[in-house]
């Protein structure tokens, strides 16, 4: 059969999302399943966001605001910037794709860490670029090694801070040393999807770097704000970079329900603080349980924990499904003995530990 796909497309391993609850219930005939696989907010969206969604339903026969005027206006006030410093996306995932499509030419190199968020290298390969993957050091980004990997073909650098799937952060001094003297024309993307959960004391204020070279900051409403089902994220950058990315952005890329919910969610700080408190308490509980089981885990600046279960992570994942708990095995990230668990409610955390003890004994 004649080849019909581009060569680089056939080389891509598709991203495998966490299994949905309904799919597992259907496959295994189990009820009461808890999902702790996709780093979601177990408390759900703010009540204010839900109210805003209901009020917006009557206007679904109209296209959304293509420029997201009111949400950009609110974000500008939140960050002390101008509306022109923001771009909205169908999740921050879309902004990753927009940045690659806008700034990378075919054959250009894009540097990131390995393992890190899989979408970076997938999106680069789709557009015909070359991912340059620098191994983590002690489960964290090795910025000195990444700096050594810069060549005249380097166009973009992705830094997930904190990193998914390890939960580690890059400190202020490390980041500043990396940025200082970086060749002109290289764009550094700081992906801060888990920014709200960070407890690292020397975590950099990325806004300080907006006027120091070509820096793009990514944030999302999918994690602490509990809106992953609506797919909305945003980028912050210089007006020049935002203008260029807007030229590759599809019109009406962010739906009206997402815009309304995100706008309302920004005004409910108390709800975000509740989820942050829940995550802190859940981390402390899970750390103690992992310690009692003698399991290595990576202390996390996110709402998930990477755990070495001293065996085949895929098999543990499959056994946990039968116990009614969905977690994430790390085979796709090259961490075959690890699982990643999202911090849930107190009840969910206890169910996870109970199931894990049962599975590890078998």
What is the CATH classification number for the domain harbouring 211? 3.40.640.10
Evaluate whether 334 touches 116 at the Cβ level (below 8 Å): no
Is residue 179 in a domain? Answer: yes
Confidence of residue 32 (pLDDT cuts 50, 70, 90): confident
Query: How far, in Å, CA of 155 to CA of 152, rounded?
Result: 8
What pLDDT does residue 242 have?
97
Q: Which of 189, 196, 183, 173 is nearest to 152 (CA)?
A: 183
1 falls in which pLDDT band (50, 70, 90)? low
**Short-list 52, 57, 58, CA closest to 70:** 52
Residue 257 confidence (pLDDT) above 80:
yes
| Averaged pLDDT, 105-127 | 96
Question: Same structural domain for residues 57 and 132?
Answer: yes
Residue ending a domain, choose from 245, 268, 291: 268
The predicted-structure confidence for 46-61, as pLDDT tens digits, reads as follows 999 999 999 999 999 9
pLDDT at position 244: 97
Statement to judge: residues 246 and 300 lie in one domain? no
Task: Say whether both 225 and 301 belong to one domain.
Answer: no
What per-residue confidence (pLDDT) applies to 26? 78
In a domain, 291, yes or no: yes
| DSSP H/E element including 216 | strand 214-220
Residues 203 and 311 in one domain: no
pLDDT (tens digit, 9 = 90+) per residue, 140-181?
999 999 999 999 999 999 999 999 999 999 999 999 999 998
* Average confidence (pLDDT) over 75-102: 97
Same domain, 264 and 179: yes
Whether pTM > 0.85 for this model: the answer is yes
The predicted pLDDT at position 9 comes to 74
Residue 21: per-residue pLDDT: 77
Mean pLDDT in residue range 296-306? 98
Whether the CB-CB separation of 223 and 197 falls below 8 Å is answered with yes
Number of domains forming the structure of the chain:
2
The predicted model gives 199-215 an average pLDDT of: 91
Query: In whole angstroms, what is the distance from residue 70 CA to residue 83 CA?
Result: 9
Contact assessment for residue 354 and residue 344, using Cβ atoms and an 8 Å cutoff: no
69 band by pLDDT with thresholds 50, 70 and 90 = very high
Buried b (16+ CB within 10 A) or exposed e, 216-248: bbbbbbbbbbbbbebbbbbbbbbeebbebbeee
Residue 347 lies inside a defined structural domain of this protein: yes
Distances in whole angstroms, Cα of residue 115 to Cα of each of 134, 170, 189, 224: 9, 15, 17, 23
The answer to whether residues 64 and 148 belong to one domain is yes
pLDDT value for 2: 66
pLDDT of residue 22: 77
- With cut-offs at 50, 70 and 90, classify the pLDDT of residue 15: low
pLDDT at 104 over 60: yes
300 and 234 within one domain: no
31 in a structural domain: yes
Rounded CA gap, 186 and 179, in Å?
A: 10
CATH number for the domain that contains residue 293: 3.90.1150.10
Residue 1 lies in a domain: no
2 located within any domain: no
Q: Are 244 and 311 in contact (CB under 8 A)?
A: no
For the segment 208-223, the average pLDDT, to the nearest whole number, is 93
- Boundary residue ending a domain (227, 244, 268): 268
**Under 8 Å between Cβ of 343 and 349:** yes
- In sequence order, which ranges of the chain are alpha helices (DSSP H)? 7-10, 21-28, 47-56, 69-79, 92-103, 118-126, 143-148, 172-179, 239-246, 256-266, 269-293, 313-322, 346-361
What pLDDT, on the 0 to 100 scale, is given for residue 362?
65
Pair 210, 192 in one domain: yes
The three-state DSSP-derived secondary structure of 297-323 is: EECCCCCEEEEECCCCHHHHHHHHHHC
pLDDT at 118: 94
Token pair recorded at residue 18: 């966490």
Is 343 domain-assigned?
yes
Distance CA 35, CA 327 (A): 7
pLDDT score for 29: 76
**How much is the pLDDT for 187?**
97
Tokens in use for 70?
A: 């009111």
The domain boundary, picked from 268, 288, 322, lies at 268
Residues 191 and 174 in one domain: yes
Report the mean per-residue pLDDT for the chain: 94
Provide the residue range defining the domain that includes 252: 47-268
- Same domain, yes or no: 52 and 192: yes
Residues 123 and 197 both lie in one domain: yes
Whether residue 265 has a cis bond before it, omega within 30° of 0:
no
Residue 249 located in a structural domain: yes
Burial annotation 187-213 (CB, 10 A radius, 16+ → b, else e): bbbbbbbbbbbbeeeebbebeebbeeb
Res. 308: pLDDT tops 70 = yes
**Do 254 and 312 have their domain in common?**
no
Peptide bond before residue 20 is cis, with ω within 30 degrees of 0: no
Does pLDDT of 124 surpass 90? yes
């Amino acid at each position: 059969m004649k080849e019909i796909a581009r060569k680089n497309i056939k080389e891509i391993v598709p991203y495998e999302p966490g299994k949905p609850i309904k799919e597992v219930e259907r496959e295994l005939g189990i009820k009461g399943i808890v999902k702790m696989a996709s780093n979601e907010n177990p408390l759900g969206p703010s009540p204010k966001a839900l109210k805003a969604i209901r009020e917006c339903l009557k206007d679904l026969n109209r296209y959304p605001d293509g420029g997201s005027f009111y949400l950009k206006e609110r974000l500008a006030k939140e960050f002390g910037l101008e509306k022109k410093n923001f771009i909205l996306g169908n999740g921050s995932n879309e902004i990753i794709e927009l940045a690659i499509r806008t700034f990378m030419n075919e054959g250009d190199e894009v540097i990131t860490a390995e393992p890190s968020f899989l979408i970076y290298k997938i999106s680069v390969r789709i557009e015909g670029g070359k991912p340059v993957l620098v191994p983590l050091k002690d489960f964290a980004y090795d910025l000195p090694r990444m700096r050594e990997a810069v060549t005249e073909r380097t166009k973009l650098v992705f830094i997930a801070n904190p990193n998914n799937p390890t939960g580690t952060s890059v400190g202020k001094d490390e980041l500043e040393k990396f940025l200082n003297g970086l060749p002109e024309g290289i764009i550094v993307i700081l992906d801060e999807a888990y920014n709200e959960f960070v407890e690292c004391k020397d975590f950099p204020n990325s806004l300080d770097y907006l006027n120091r070279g070509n820096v793009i900051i990514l944030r999302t409403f999918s994690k602490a704000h509990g809106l992953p089902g609506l797919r909305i994220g945003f980028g912050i950058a210089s007006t020049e970079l935002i203008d260029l990315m807007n030229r590759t952005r599809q019109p009406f890329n962010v739906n009206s329900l997402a815009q309304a919910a995100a706008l309302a969610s920004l005004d409910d700080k108390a709800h975000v603080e509740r989820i942050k408190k829940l995550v802190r308490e859940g981390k402390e509980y899970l750390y103690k349980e992992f310690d009692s089981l003698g399991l290595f885990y990576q202390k996390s600046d996110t709402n998930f924990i990477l755990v070495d279960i001293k065996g085949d992570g895929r098999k543990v994942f499959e056994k946990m499904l039968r116990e009614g708990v969905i977690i994430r095995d790390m085979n796709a990230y090259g961490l075959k003995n690890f699982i990643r668990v999202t911090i849930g409610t107190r009840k969910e955390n206890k169910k996870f530990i109970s199931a894990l003890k049962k599975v590890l004994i078998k």
